[in-house]
Amino acid sequence: MSDGHKVAIALSGGVDSAVAAALLQRQGLDLQGVHLRLSPLAAPPDRVEALAHYLGIPLTVLDLQAEFAREVLDYFVSEYVRGRTPNPCVRCNATIKFGYLWDYLKKSGVTHLATGHYARQNLDDHDVPGLFRGVDRRKDQSYFLSRLPLSLLPNLLFPLGQMTKEEVWRLSRQAGLPVRENQPESMELCFIPTGGYREFLQARRGIEASPGDFVDPRGRLLGRHRGVESYTVGQRRGLGIPAREPFYVIEIQPETNRVVLGHREELLSPGLTASGMNWLITPPAGEIEAAAVIRYRHPGVRARITPQGDGSVQVAFATPQSAVAPGQAVVFYDRDRVLGGGWIEARMK
């Protein structure tokens, strides 16, 4: 990277962003740290301050609690109330980390934003910037970055994209970075550390859940549920409906306050519709083929993607897929390159 570039590294206090910062510092870049305070539950930034001091870089703590509550927490609650399965990490990356944060940094003269995501920003065969999977497929986070604006890609740095998690930890030890080795991997929602999202929903809505009917696909009564926001498509546990063959949630109908249950084969769908497409390539004029990933850790399935002209697409799978959940992100790949993503609106039946 040439002189005159000013780089900000988003520091969380964990090993990934710490190693990303150390790698950038070794390149002799004009580097500064920025830490986002997003929730009252977040730990004080003591570890981040210690890391910045150790590296000898300035640190800014940016309070975006109000923006996070409005853009992520309210979205999270409203999606569940609508009978959908939200993806707050996809939403947060697009609106907070690469939205409000980037707007703030640009005003201070920053030219590039770096993070500890396991993803790659590379040039394609035509020297056009693109977003690609991280080399460590177990840790790849490109799915969560699918809603970044295409125009922002040249301004992003992902120093860990070519590394495995084991290599990151090894480099951290070699550099003596002040990070905790026994800290568990972050798997839960950052704003609900215990994972008790139902209690969070009730507390934030200020009202109790409304019980309703469990029905089968033909509308026959199977039992009572405790509120549509307590369930997600594909859920098997906690239904309390005895049967010789396990029941799964196959559809949530908030307008009638019903949850539709069926057996495993009834979860399968030949495709989906998605809205709000965000393309990280030149938007295709017609049908394309790609791998469709319908949730994080989904292996992907070959699919035909047909743009509808209003920012939505129809997606036809080569093989029927289980538990297509409205509200989740669907992301399209050409091998390792992210083509774009949208929000699942409905599954085809």
89 catalytic residue (yes or no):
no
Distances (CA, A) of 194 to 41, 65, 187, 197, 253: 11, 20, 10, 8, 28
DSSP for 135-183?
S-TTT--GGGGTTS-GGGGGGEE-TTTT--HHHHHHHHHHHT----TTP
CA atoms of 303 and 319, how far apart (whole Å)? 8
Amino acid at 79: E
Counting every residue written for the chain, the total comes to 349
CA atoms of 236 and 187, how far apart (whole Å)? 20
CA atoms of 337 and 124, how far apart (whole Å)? 9
Distances (CA, A) of 269 to 100, 322, 323, 347: 37, 6, 8, 6
Distances (CA, A) of 146 to 98, 121, 150, 153, 246: 11, 12, 10, 11, 34
Per annotation, catalytic residue among 171, 177, 190, 346? 190
Per annotation, catalytic residue among 29, 72, 77, 92? 92
Q: What is the dihedral of CA 38, 42, 45, 46, to 10 degrees?
A: 180
Inter-residue contact 200 to 192 (CB < 8 Å): yes
Residues designated as active site: 92, 190
